[in-house]
Amino acid sequence: MAPSAQTAAPALDVRALREREFPTAARAPYLNAAAVAPLPQRAVRAIEAFNRRRASAHDLTGDDFEPTLARARDAAARLIGADADEIALLPNTSHGINLAAHVLPLRPGQRVVVSDREFPANVYPWMQLARNAGVALVRVPAHEFGRPDEARILTELERGDVGIFALSAVQFASGYNAVLERFGSVCRARGIFFVVDAIQSLGQVPVDVRAAHVDILATGGHKWLCSPFGTGFTYVRRELVTQLEPRVVGWTAMAGTLDYSRLLDYRYEFWDTARRFEVATLPFQDIAGMTESLTLLHEVGPDNIRRHVLGLLDPLVEWLHSTGAAEIVSDLRPEHRSGIFCFRPPDAEGAFRALGRAGVNCVLREGAVRISPHLYNTEDDIAVVMEVLSRPESW
């Protein structure tokens, strides 16, 4: 018999929420926010309404441009405890990590430190820097299952001559949630720039960039932020903004850009906000959609979302733990848990295929089944997973 999925009283009314915002979520267990999350209806409506005005172009108004961007920067800033002038609207995580790699000043001989087995978006830009700028890239060996080795990283940071430490707040293949404050305080005390890839955390784990002493944080919008592809943002700490000169330079990076009567003055003066890192015309319609999604996440509240997804996972975690039906890849210590839960049944591929046949949308990563519920999932979705896993003879 399949074990039953029980959770504590939900902190949010998921059924009402999904009827309103995620009507297709009830169709089958969608447990894949770590890859792509669905768009809420309010974002779909905002994008469609924008595109209708755009289709005729006559109907576009002044509100569709600057105010659309300003609302998005506000909503993004609020999510991470920053100010809007510390936000650049960049299309994905990689642009933000590349920005960090290109603008943060390093002295010759300094080292860049990452944890080994990071998602490649947080590795290739540093590899390129190492090849071109004469700095060394140190990949600190990870624990089994790719979880960052906190003690080893801290030792590495304290050895001196580190210019940048870059970390995913939540790891893509284990769901390991790093306690950012621990690394950030060491980095700040030692003058090391702390760069965070936040795409697997924002929207499901509360992040406060000031408390965590983050210098640059980059995210794309299409996973836990339930936002359109090609949307995202990068935070640059205020004190750094005016010290850092963009390397990719476009006309919207310049402060005089809104005065269309003087474009040909070519005044080479960057905005004194993080806008200086925005390069050119942006996808306004999708950014309008992102703002709606971020507003929804604010309304539900990052703490509630975290409680909800961990509560959903609890019965599955406990059942796998107690029966040994699968090797658990995710770190189960409360502070290191996240909405990404990874486990390896003896036949992970077979289990994955059986989950697919039962309508469960999840993925295999590094030989483990990865499931990632979000605010639209219910205990029924997890019950389907447990039902499938409890019948290995049917895989």
Ligand X SMILES: Cc1ncc(COP(=O)(O)O)c(C=O)c1O
Contacting range for ligand X; rule: CB under 6 A; set: 72-80, 186-194, 196-204, 366-374:
196-204
The CA distance from 96 to 335, in Å, is 26
Q: Closer to ligand X at the Cβ: 197 or 292? A: 197
The CA distance from 40 to 149, in Å, is 36
Single residue of 197, 286, 292, 387 touching ligand X by CB under 6 A: 197
Q: Closer to ligand X at the Cβ: 224 or 319? A: 224
Element at 163 (helix H, strand E):
strand 162-168
Q: Which pairs count as long-range contacts for 243-249, CB under 8 Å and 24+ apart, including other chains?
A: 244/103, 244/104, 245/103, 245/270, 246/99, 246/103, 246/270, 246/276, 246/277, 246/279, 247/102, 247/103, 248/99, 248/102, 248/279, 249/279
3-state SS string for 61-89: CHHHCHHHHHHHHHHHHHHHCCCHHHEEC
DSSP 281-310: ---HHHHHHHHHHHHHHHHH-HHHHHHHHH
The answer to whether residues 169 and 207 touch, using CB atoms and an 8 Å cutoff, is: yes
Q: How far is the CB of 126 from ligand X (least distance, A)?
A: 13
Q: Closer to ligand X at the Cβ: 172 or 376? A: 172
The answer to whether residues 368 and 329 touch, using CB atoms and an 8 Å cutoff, is: yes
- The residues facing 88 across adjacent strands are 234
Q: Closer to ligand X at the Cβ: 214 or 386? A: 214
The CA distance from 156 to 236, in Å, is 24
The answer to whether residues 173 and 365 touch, using CB atoms and an 8 Å cutoff, is: yes
Contacting range for ligand X; rule: CB under 6 A; set: 42-50, 102-110, 195-203, 371-379:
195-203
Assess 220 for contact with ligand X (CB under 6 A). Answer: yes
Q: Is 191 exposed, middle or buried (0-12, 13-18, 19+ CB in 10 A)?
A: exposed
**How many residues interact with ligand X (rule CB under 6 A)?**
12
Q: How far is the CB of 121 from ligand X (least distance, A)?
A: 4
Q: Closer to ligand X at the Cβ: 71 or 222? A: 222
Interface positions, 114-153, toward ligand X (CB under 6 A)? 119, 121-122
CA dihedral (165, 374, 225, 227) in degrees, to 10, reads 140
Single residue of 68, 92, 273, 293 touching ligand X by CB under 6 A: 92
Q: How far is the CB of 184 from ligand X (least distance, A)?
A: 18
Assess 224 for contact with ligand X (CB under 6 A). Answer: no
Q: How far is the CB of 111 from ligand X (least distance, A)?
A: 22
Assess 168 for contact with ligand X (CB under 6 A). Answer: yes
Q: Closer to ligand X at the Cβ: 118 or 387? A: 118
Single residue of 22, 50, 126, 172 touching ligand X by CB under 6 A: 172
Contacting range for ligand X; rule: CB under 6 A; set: 76-84, 91-99, 260-268, 289-297:
91-99
Q: Closer to ligand X at the Cβ: 168 or 377? A: 168
Single residue of 93, 174, 291, 330 touching ligand X by CB under 6 A: 93
Q: How far is the CB of 40 from ligand X (least distance, A)?
A: 20
State the pairing for strand pair 87-88/232-236: antiparallel
Contacting range for ligand X; rule: CB under 6 A; set: 92-100, 150-158, 250-258, 283-291:
92-100
Single residue of 174, 200, 204, 227 touching ligand X by CB under 6 A: 200
Nearest residue to ligand X, using CB? 220
Query: Tokens 């309404």 map to which residue?
Result: 49
The token duo for 333 is 């210590």
Q: How far is the CB of 169 from ligand X (least distance, A)?
A: 8
Could you give the angle at the alpha carbon of 50 between the alpha carbons of 47 and 54, nearest 5°? 130
Q: Closer to ligand X at the Cβ: 111 or 117? A: 117
Assess 362 for contact with ligand X (CB under 6 A). Answer: no
**Three-class SS state of 233:** strand
The residues of the shown chain that bind ligand X, judged by CB under 6 A, are: 92-94, 119, 121-122, 168, 172, 197, 199-200, 220
